[in-house]
Amino acid sequence: MATRRIFDISQTLSATLPVWPGDTPFEATPLWEHGEHCPVAVARLTMSPHSGTHTDAPVHYDPKGKAMADVALDAYLGIARVIDLSHRTGPILPDDIAFALDGTVARLLIRTWSRFPHAQWDSAFAPIAAETIRLLAQHGVALIGVDTPSLDPEDSKTMDAHLAVKDAGMHILEGIVLDDVPPGDYELIALPLKMDGVDASPVRAILRELIA
Ligand SMILES: Nc1ccccc1C(=O)C[C@H](N)C(=O)O
Ligand SMILES: [Zn+2]
Ligand SMILES: [Zn+2]
């Protein structure tokens, strides 16, 4: 039986993980350690729910929106299309993604970095225009994934793309790593943790080849 290749599109959570300016750095401190009187190792985690590769819960951008534990999982499992827009600078416009919308595209994952900035925070990421989100929604796209830390620019106060996602009832993956993934269609698996009242969750995001 041929195995289907798995692409891990998750960032590594570590003390060197770049985080949103002012947000909580990721930290795993040993709480219990192996020793004469202790048979186990257990860490204590300190982190933002927006650490690394994550999904936003609607309550992040909508005070009346659902928190993570209450979000339906359908969008996070299933066929996803990967496109490479790493040649683009500036906001991703409807014209940039129109070519990818033939047939049924339930989930669209967009590469914008030519090299993902694993070592340092980079504020100069390509945002997604709100009109682009509306075009995706019209085509039935239920999830948008980006390799940047946000759909909107870092200094956005209006969160236009997030609000277009809200209006369409779409779902968002942020901080996926697409450097090594050839454009095409895959099976996406990226389930959030069932966290009560929380505004986002890290995900272990993977893409699996469709054909054996
Ligand atoms: N972590 C933060 C801390 C403070 C202010 C914004 C953020 C964000 O993460 C915003 C980004 N638009 C996001 O959806 O992930
Ligand atoms: Zn987020
Ligand atoms: Zn976001």
**pLDDT digit string (tens) for 34-66?**
999 999 999 999 999 999 999 999 999 999 999
Hey, where are the domains in the chain? 6-10+49-209
Domain spanning 6-10+49-209, CATH architecture: 3-Layer(bba) Sandwich (3.50)
Question: What pLDDT does 2 receive?
Answer: 76
Ligand 1 pocket test, pick from 19, 20, 147, 154 with the greatest ligand atom count within 8 Å of Cβ, gives: 20
| Rounded distance between C-alpha atoms, residue 175 and residue 45, angstroms | 20
Average pLDDT of span 143-150: 98
Ligand nearest the Cα of residue 146 is 3
pTM of structure: 0.97
Amino acid symbol at 20? W
Question: 83-134 pLDDT, tens per residue?
Answer: 999 999 899 999 999 999 998 999 999 999 999 999 999 999 999 999 999 9
Residue 174 CA to ligand 1 centre (angstroms): 10
ipTM of the complex: 0.93
> Residues lining ligand 1, judged by CB closer than 6 Å?
20, 23, 48, 50, 56, 60, 149-150, 152, 174
